[in-house]
Amino acid sequence: MASFVDTVKLFVSGGDGGNGCASVRREKYKPLGGPDGGNGGNGGDVILEVSEQVTTLLDYHRSPHRSAENGTPGQGDNQEGKNGEHVVLPVPQGTVVKENGEVIADLAAPQQRYVIAQGGRGGLGNAALASRKRKAPGFALLGEPGQERTVTLELKSVADVALVGFPSAGKSSLISAMSSARPKIADYPFTTLVPNLGVVDADGLRYTIADVPGLIPGAAQGRGLGLEFLRHIERCAVIVHVLDAATFETERDPVSDLKVIEHELAQYRSDLGDVEGYVPLGQRPRIIVINKIDIPDGREMAQMQRAELEAFGWPVFEISAVTHEGLRELGFALANAVAEQRAQLPEPQVPEVVEVEPVGRRRGSDFTVTTTDVEGERAYQVRGTGVERWVSQTDFGNDEAVGFLADRLKQAGVEDALVEAGALPGDPVVIGPAESGVVFDWEPTLQTGAELLGPRGSDARMEGSGRATRKERKARYHEKMDAKAAAREELWTERESGVWTDPSSR
Ligand SMILES: Nc1nc2c(ncn2[C@@H]2O[C@H](COP(=O)(O)OP(=O)(O)OP(=O)(O)O)[C@@H](O)[C@H]2O)c(=O)[nH]1
Ligand SMILES: [Mg+2]
């Protein structure tokens, strides 16, 4: 199947935001002008876009890593960094996007777009960070990293009519008789391994037919690639059973074949099940086609079983895909069924651009405080898109930047929440994931405010403490542990006896 790829793993990353710039205007005779560091540019997004020109996911199979351009850093003299270019990835109509096995986007509409990986925002320069209190900040914010994701793209054909049936029933023969599609036809099973789409023009109504590979008993459980194939009829409004009236297999006949396929349709559990408007396969309108009546035995079989087939309650047609007998009537019936289905749609499916709300819009300062284990130590863990973003924007080599982060955290209520959760001075606190977050000793006595600001790039609150390395921090932590051992012992006893509630078990 070298020329058709319908599932592919894709690794995408948005561009990183450019860093903000910390710079001070130089003017003659004025050693300290105002801050004039510009903002960094935003990283570009990676965007999926439904395109008519694309029919397979082959390109992504060949090069599965796609990333957008980074933003450039801001510069002095209030020069903003340049935004990174977006990367637009064309995908066929009917592409379903999954992450960790869950459907996150269903690109079924023409020209639909979906932001799959957002670029990081550029960091603010010191000009933008200046405030009444903080007149000339000696730091700037770092650009945020772009979003990284690993997703699976899956193609589910979009067609009005799906032809289903056993291998060699004549599905490919029928689609080539009714449309200009020219799939391979042969007298061995599983000739068709990938779906074929054909377009039919019937008296002003244009509709598409999908010829899907043959189904066998157990298909819904994955036998004979059945799951792969059933996936392609999930979007089809009308299902046509193509029954072989002239099979050589003695244990088969049209009625029993129909029952087998019906059973598989009813069993099939679609991952689109929760998508709005999805109708289970077992509830779609059906049309029954008895094929190969040009063969005398076939015609006889068709006549014999017609009544029993009609009892299922769906229209029955006797045809020959080879001599084209009965195809006119079938064509009209299909056109009517398609028209009826389209009339039931809430709105006509005119091509339109559907912008989906991008995933992971990293906004808001909601956060949670729980306890966790960091390198064997019990630590308080703060998680939240906003707070984690602030951390990623912080240049930890610059005390003033760290002070700014402390102010932001306090303002967002992180300090209060830590107190509430039972954190004590000196307790390790991790912001972000336990493995990769930033760990520090909690010092709630830190006052907030720019009144403490000293020379640029420093913060009076950091004096003496400096930015401890993990090792120093650990050593200091153990010192404090000793000093507070007695008091802690008592608190732990209380906790163990259930006087406190563990915030992680809430
Ligand atoms: N006599 C006769 N033979 C037919 C008719 N339709 C299909 N055939 C033959 O049946 C065989 C299978 O036809 P295909 O169209 O490849 O069947 P299919 O359902 O697409 O089979 P798979 O792709 O394997 O699932 C071929 O040898 C066809 O020539 C028909 O109406 N009359
Ligand atoms: Mg075929």
3 state SS for 6-69: CEEEEEEECCCCCCCCCCECCECCECCCCECCCCCCCCCCEEEEECCCCCCCHHHHHCCEEECC
Using the predicted structure, report yes or no on whether residue 359 has a pLDDT greater than 50. no
Q: What average pLDDT does range 286-310 have in this prediction? A: 96
Q: What average pLDDT does range 169-184 have in this prediction? A: 89
pLDDT band at 135 (very low <50, low <70, confident <90, very high): confident
pLDDT band at 364 (very low <50, low <70, confident <90, very high): low
Lowest pLDDT segment from 115-129, 137-151, 339-353, 482-496: 482-496
Q: Which two tokens stand for residue 146?
A: 């772009």
Q: Which carries the bigger pLDDT value, residue 272 or residue 310?
A: 310
254 touches 243 (CB < 8 A): yes
Tell me the DSSP string of 219-282: GGGTGGGHHHHHGGGTT-SEEEEEEETT-S-TT--HHHHHHHHHHHHHH---TTTTSTT---GG
Using the predicted structure, report yes or no on whether residue 458 has a pLDDT greater than 70. no
Residue closest to 382 by CA, chosen among 364, 370, 394, 366: 370
Lowest pLDDT segment from 182-186, 226-230, 302-306, 493-497: 493-497
499 CA to middle of ligand 2, Å? 71
CA dist., res. 18 & res. 15, Å (int): 9
Residues shown for the chain: 506
Can you give the pLDDT at residue 481?
53
pLDDT band at 44 (very low <50, low <70, confident <90, very high): very high
Using the predicted structure, report yes or no on whether residue 179 has a pLDDT greater than 50. yes
Using the predicted structure, report yes or no on whether residue 451 has a pLDDT greater than 60. no
Tell me the pLDDT tens digit for each residue of 398-411: 888 988 888 888 88
- The protein residue with its alpha carbon nearest to ligand 1, atom 1, reads 292
Lowest pLDDT segment from 113-122, 185-194, 425-434: 185-194
pLDDT band at 174 (very low <50, low <70, confident <90, very high): very high
327 CA to middle of ligand 1, Å? 15
210 CA to middle of ligand 2, Å? 11
Q: What average pLDDT does range 353-369 have in this prediction? A: 55
99 touches 122 (CB < 8 A): no
Q: Which carries the bigger pLDDT value, residue 490 or residue 148?
A: 148
Can you give the pLDDT at residue 374?
78
Using the predicted structure, report yes or no on whether residue 311 has a pLDDT greater than 90. yes
How many Cα atoms within 13 Å fall on the side-chain side of residue 80? 10
Using the predicted structure, report yes or no on whether residue 219 has a pLDDT greater than 70. no
Q: Structure pTM?
A: 0.62
pLDDT band at 355 (very low <50, low <70, confident <90, very high): very low
Can you give the pLDDT at residue 348?
40
172 touches 183 (CB < 8 A): yes
Q: Which two tokens stand for residue 166?
A: 């056993």
185 CA to middle of ligand 2, Å? 6
Using the predicted structure, report yes or no on whether residue 180 has a pLDDT greater than 90. no
pLDDT band at 500 (very low <50, low <70, confident <90, very high): very low
Which positions make up the binding site for Mg(2+)?
172, 192
Segment (H or E) for 299: helix 296-310
188 CA to middle of ligand 1, Å? 9
Radius of gyration for the alpha carbons in the chain, expressed in angstroms and rounded: 33
Most confident segment among 408-417, 453-462, 480-489: 408-417
- The protein residue with its alpha carbon nearest to ligand 1, atom 23, reads 192
Using the predicted structure, report yes or no on whether residue 468 has a pLDDT greater than 80. no
Can you give the pLDDT at residue 488?
53
Residue closest to 376 by CA, chosen among 481, 467, 465: 481
Buried b (16+ CB within 10 A) or exposed e, 114-149: bbbbbbbbbbbbbbbbbeeebebbbbbbbbbbbbeb
| Rounded percentage of the chain residues whose pLDDT exceeds 90 | 36
- The protein residue with its alpha carbon nearest to ligand 1, atom 14, reads 170
Calculate the CA 210 to chain-centre distance: 27
Can you give the pLDDT at residue 474?
59
CA dist., res. 167 & res. 257, Å (int): 11
- Residue matched to tokens 């070298």: 2
Tell me the pLDDT tens digit for each residue of 472-485: 655 665 565 555 55
pLDDT band at 490 (very low <50, low <70, confident <90, very high): low
Can you give the pLDDT at residue 295?
95
Q: What average pLDDT does range 381-410 have in this prediction? A: 88
Tell whether ligand 1 has an atom less than 6 A from the beta carbon of residue 187.
yes
Using the predicted structure, report yes or no on whether residue 455 has a pLDDT greater than 70. no
Can you give the pLDDT at residue 460?
61
Mean pLDDT of the chain: 81
Segment (H or E) for 92: none
438 touches 391 (CB < 8 A): yes
Tell whether ligand 1 has an atom less than 6 A from the beta carbon of residue 213.
yes
Can you give the pLDDT at residue 372?
86
CA dihedral defined by 275, 350, 202, 176, rounded to 10 degrees? Answer: -60
Which positions make up the binding site for GTP?
165-172, 190-194, 211-214, 291-294, 320-322
Instruction: For residue 451, give the DSSP letter.
Output: G
Tell whether ligand 1 has an atom less than 6 A from the beta carbon of residue 295.
yes
Using the predicted structure, report yes or no on whether residue 74 has a pLDDT greater than 80. yes
- 3-state class (DSSP) for residue 183: coil
Buried b (16+ CB within 10 A) or exposed e, 320-345: bbbeeebbeebbebbbebbeebeeee
Can you give the pLDDT at residue 501?
39
Can you give the pLDDT at residue 92?
86
Using the predicted structure, report yes or no on whether residue 351 has a pLDDT greater than 80. no
Q: What average pLDDT does range 247-266 have in this prediction? A: 90
pLDDT band at 302 (very low <50, low <70, confident <90, very high): very high
Lowest pLDDT segment from 89-103, 180-194, 218-232, 297-311: 218-232
418 touches 443 (CB < 8 A): no
Strands in 65-67's sheet, in edge-to-edge order, are 65-67, 7-13, 148-155, 95-99, 102-107
